[in-house]
Amino acid sequence: MNVANNATLATSTNPSIFCTVPLGEPVQAENGYIPPNTQMLPGQWAASAGNGYVLLLQTDGNLVLYQVVGGPVSTNSSFTGSAIWATGTNDGAYFDVQTDGNLVLGTSEGNVAWTSNTDGIEPQELRVQTDGNLVLYNTLDQACWASSSNHYQVWPPTRWVNVQSSLVAPVKGVPFVLTASPDGPTLSPFVVGSPNQIWQVTADGRLLSGLLGGLVLGQDAGSRTPINTTQSVPVPVEQTWLWGSGLGPTAIQNSGSNQYLSVDIAGGSVQMQDTDTSGQWYFMPTSPLDNIMALPASDPAFPAFTPDQQAVYDWINTQLAAMNNQPHLILRKQYTNGASTLDSYRQDMLGLDYSAFQPHVWQPVVDQLKLELSAASAVNSLFTCYTSFHSLLFEDQGALLSELGQDAGFENGDSTNIGGIILAVLSGVIYTVLSAETMEGDINYFAVAANVLQSGINVAVAAQSSNVSPSLFQVAYADLWGQLSDTFEGLLATFGTMETTILTDWAKLKITYTLIASTAPDGLFWNSGETGNMVKAAKPGYVLSVMQMLLPAKFQIYQYLDVNDTPIDGVPAYAQYIAPAIDGTYFKYWIADSTDWSIYPEEIALTQVWDNGGSKDEFFNGRNGWAFARTMPYTFSGNDANYLVIALTNLSPNTLVATVFNPSPTSAGPSPQTLYPYETVLIEAEAAFPGGVALTISIFDPSRGNYFNEPIASFEAYQDYSGFEAGNVRTANATAAGDYQLSTPLCNEGGFRQYPGAIQASIFRP
């Protein structure tokens, strides 16, 4: 038996590339469950529930799992998709789900091109799951093999949104949105700056609440009740949802019950229903240009003319060339030349004398070209508006960055952890659409800017642009603006590419033109007079993102538990925060220099945070992007200079598990700990004489299929034993795996008989 290769993401599979995928006949696989003794022949396929993923044996012999981006998934049709896993073979003649538990891709010669090597199990089925994973289960419902492709989805990208009802009309311009409440989700009017109205949609189908704390939208098993619930690990189907990726409003379907999230229009309540009333919800921003860019290229690029009509088109080109003093002109190649030029061509064309041609010949040509010119002019104007928005937003950001750095106490020799912040700056700008007051009538103009900007980010990242990167790295403060400006320029170049692509493809151009005339949530109607207000509304996101990058590099959070809520003695009011604990005591926090707990940031630095919408609770608790090192004052109960506090911040949408290994003779914990998305957990270690602290921190992602027991990040933490001064704090052997990255750990030495040492590390997934 000749086995070509084992299961892997084929090197030829690029998850950023969209392509047209032809389908033949499906195999029998209800909801994507492929039973044993099923054989798949070239062209045959099986789709997950909701048709979000398709497993296809291609006619070229490659077995490929696709994520569906658009188009029908049905017999003898084709869809637009992105390959997220493949066997990487070119000689597969059949794919067998065998009764002995093995998955085998065989050749026409009877050899084995690929196998899962799982023979000997009692198979239940191979499932094409709604999370993008291909999993083989045994009769005990245990996963025995998985493609581990649930991290390669490209559609829809993870992003923060409002979930707006399409059935309940806005009142005085204020839309009704899905809102998390103690009694479950409700539908209520949009309120500026409300985290319970913000949701993050993830590629594997979760809806994370902006309240954080691991809260997600789920459905109560066995009932019609949608609930706000704490995310389980691994994620159960009741906490994942299916929604459309096309243009316009979408249905939101629970993966566990197959029921739909619905609105009682009369009562305004949110409930579940059995029937699909499609088009009940918009995700805002909707990013409609993603969908348009994902369409396959038109062939031909523009509608073809008959020979008689082509003669009219050629004559029009000759006339326009003469009128504009050009030796040669092809009208359809002029669509990228700017709105004013196209408007001029349109007027010239409409003024020509067509009497030499029969009306039934020339009229269709003129009508089609008039429509194309109007559409191209509108697209040119849209991107001109966005370019103005982009330039105004970032033109003085070098000066603003310098101001923020000065406020935060930075000097040119200082360094900071970017920690995925390049994209976080851009996403922070978008995040402000969820709390922007820019409504005029029924139109939220900033939502249009967010629709365009989010699309550009998605396209740039999907194209793996070198300038628009979510990578983690350290950079000198003096070089920071250069890094950011490269990103902004790279993003602007992406928009130029998007514009050209749309203007040279009639299917994309026609849809974009329709959206430009629309004021719906997925519309692109842009009043150029509102651009200045949009820029003003977007800047707070920039400020917060930059301060999230700068402040943790110089300062850390000090915390302790107290029996009263009196202010912390000696700490300025602007630098402290007091919050009640469940047991009637109080958490007390303050921010100070990482080398001295009595040196505080300048008040202006924190004023920049609070005045731009920063939450004190999130700031001092290390949530939603605030990744500070943390420590506590010295106590005589062991909490001294031989103590080390390790803060782990999860900047990914997945729930992770943090575990301490080999702590002996060091005492460390708690371990394991659940690390919810955008949250920070603390691991406290007590040094042992004479070795000090020496331990390994490993972080796991339980959703990683059959790789769940392999760490996605790890590092070693050390602190020398303290005698008469604080021990040295350091890390070593930091690694990351899969599509996760680990920031360069921050190491802060403790103050002898004042506070323990501290380490901060962030885990990020592009």
Q: Are 247 and 288 in contact (CB under 8 A)?
A: yes
Give the C-alpha separation, 34 to 136, whole Å.
Answer: 9
237 and 275 part of one domain: yes
211 and 322 part of one domain: no
41 and 130 part of one domain: yes
CB-based contacts of 455, cutoff 8 Å, min separation 6:
287, 288, 289, 290, 293, 498
Q: Considering 530, 546, 562, which residue would you say is the last residue of a domain?
A: 546
Least Cα distance to 694 among 756, 629, 642, 749 occurs for 642
Is residue 299 situated within a structural domain? Answer: no
Q: 757: which 2 tokens?
A: 């040492």
pLDDT digits (tens, 9 = 90+) for 6-20: 333 333 334 345 678
Residue 126: give its domain's CATH number: 2.90.10.10
Give the C-alpha separation, 325 to 475, whole Å.
Answer: 53
518 and 579 part of one domain: no
3-state secondary structure (DSSP) of residue 661? strand
CB-based contacts of 163, cutoff 8 Å, min separation 6:
177, 178, 199, 207, 252, 281, 282, 283, 284
Residue 683: give its domain's CATH number: 2.60.270.50
Give the C-alpha separation, 230 to 611, whole Å.
Answer: 31
Q: What is the DSSP code string of 383-413?
A: HHHHHHHHHHHHTTHHHHHHHHHHHTT--TT
632 and 575 part of one domain: yes
Q: 315: which 2 tokens?
A: 């004559």
Peptide linkage before 670 cis (omega within 30 of 0)? yes
Is residue 707 situated within a structural domain? Answer: yes
Q: Considering 360, 377, 394, which residue would you say is the last residue of a domain?
A: 377
392 and 279 part of one domain: no
3-state secondary structure (DSSP) of residue 501? helix
Give the C-alpha separation, 501 to 373, whole Å.
Answer: 15
132 and 195 part of one domain: no
Question: How many structural domains comprise the chain?
Answer: 5
Is residue 293 situated within a structural domain? Answer: no
What's the confidence (pLDDT) of residue 435?
A: 52
Task: Identify the segments of the chain with pLDDT beneath 50.
Answer: 1-16, 419-421, 437-442, 465-466, 470-472
What's the confidence (pLDDT) of residue 583?
A: 87
Residue 404 Cα to chain centre, angstroms: 27
Give the global pTM: 0.78
139 and 166 part of one domain: no
Give the C-alpha separation, 456 to 504, whole Å.
Answer: 18
Q: Considering 514, 546, 578, which residue would you say is the last residue of a domain?
A: 546
Is residue 314 situated within a structural domain? Answer: yes
Least Cα distance to 467 among 499, 482, 489, 495 occurs for 489
Q: Are 759 and 751 in contact (CB under 8 A)?
A: no
Q: Are 740 and 764 in contact (CB under 8 A)?
A: yes
328 and 433 part of one domain: no
Give the C-alpha separation, 464 to 457, whole Å.
Answer: 10
Q: Are 93 and 42 in contact (CB under 8 A)?
A: yes
Is residue 290 situated within a structural domain? Answer: no
Q: How many helices (H) and strands (E) in the chain?
A: 12, 45
Residue 238: give its domain's CATH number: 2.80.10.50
Residue 415, CB half-sphere, CA atoms under 13 Å: how many?
Answer: 9
- Which domain does 605 fall in, by range? 554-764
| E strand map for 501-581 | 555-562, 576-580
Task: Determine phi and psi for 191, rounding to 5 degrees.
Answer: -125, 130
470 and 559 part of one domain: no
Is residue 297 situated within a structural domain? Answer: no
pLDDT digits (tens, 9 = 90+) for 138-154: 999 888 998 877 666 65
Is residue 300 situated within a structural domain? Answer: no
Is residue 151 situated within a structural domain? Answer: no
Q: Are 154 and 67 in contact (CB under 8 A)?
A: yes
pLDDT digits (tens, 9 = 90+) for 55-67: 999 999 999 999 8
628 and 751 part of one domain: yes
- Residue given tokens 């890390």 in the structure block: 731
Q: Are 126 and 104 in contact (CB under 8 A)?
A: no
Give the C-alpha separation, 691 to 352, whole Å.
Answer: 91
Give the C-alpha separation, 765 to 472, whole Å.
Answer: 10
Give the C-alpha separation, 732 to 738, whole Å.
Answer: 20
What's the confidence (pLDDT) of residue 11?
A: 31
What's the confidence (pLDDT) of residue 449?
A: 73
264 and 349 part of one domain: no
